[in-house]
Amino acid sequence: MCELLAMSANTPTDLCFSFTGLTRRGGATGPHKDGWGVAFYEGKGVRAFHDADASASSRIAEVVQTHPIKSEVAICHIRQANVGEICLANTHPFMRELWGRYWVFAHNGQLSGFRPQPGFYEPVGSTDSEALFCDILNHLRSHCDRNTGTDDIVERLVRLSQAYASQGVFNLLLSNGDWLFTYCTTKMASITRRAPFGPARLKDADVTVDFESETTPNDIVSVIVTEPLTSDERWDIYQPGEWRLWRKGVVVRSGKSVE
């Protein structure tokens, strides 16, 4: 299994803080040592970093931890391989273009025997996760267009997620840069930080940040992760089958699959 991290409307301090905690789980405090990746939306562009080595000892991860990147959406993944070899092509998050936007996807879980329908998008690597991503985009490309409203797209994503979840573990992060869609079948938690800000301490590293001194009263940042990253904050735990649509740091739509 793997671990996920997403941030909506993040500040450079929040990003470096959360990313530092997650990368420690990639081979130091956790077993997820089979590669990692992170993608930051900057306008319509995406700044992406991938490495097939463990994130806890990655020199590339060190650069990202100390680089002040401001992004409205960021998606990160650390991998514990269960399907597909350990190589760069199999590191998440995966990215494709659709309707003039880059779509970024990361997945935690496993769908035994999953076979995507043939279509325009094809996986480069050998993971079931990338095959799932291509299947999602092929479905959207076949049934929607660039003028389809967000509500209609989200409804399709919910139905697809329910179908995938019926075949195995399917924890999902998906963004087109405008919004972030999350779906949980087993583990996912979130926290939204806004004024008045306070301090926070990482579980996986001896790092504490006082967000009040690093933010403005207008800042809002949300962190979505497989397991809570801090030990002194109250996290909101997703329920199995729960999905949320995030935009600019807040939930704008949510729901729960009917069992």
Range of the domain at 85: 3-93+171-256
In a domain, 158, yes or no: no
CATH classification at residue 203: 3.60.20.10
Which of the following is catalytic: 2, 16, 76, 134?
2
**21, 229 in Cβ contact below 8 A?**
yes
In a domain, 252, yes or no: yes
Q: Residues 33-61: pLDDT tens digits?
A: 778 999 999 989 999 999 988 887 888 88
In a domain, 147, yes or no: no
Residue 2 is among the residues annotated as catalytic for this protein: yes
Q: pLDDT confidence of 1, banded at 50, 70, 90?
A: very low
Q: Residues 173-207: pLDDT tens digits?
A: 999 999 999 999 999 999 998 877 777 888 877 77
Q: Residues 96-125: pLDDT tens digits?
A: 999 999 999 999 888 877 888 899 999 999
Nearest to 39 by CA among 85, 84, 103, 97: 103
pLDDT confidence of residue 34: 79
Q: How many domains does the chain have?
A: 1
In this prediction, what percent of the chain has a pLDDT beyond 90? 48
In a domain, 103, yes or no: no
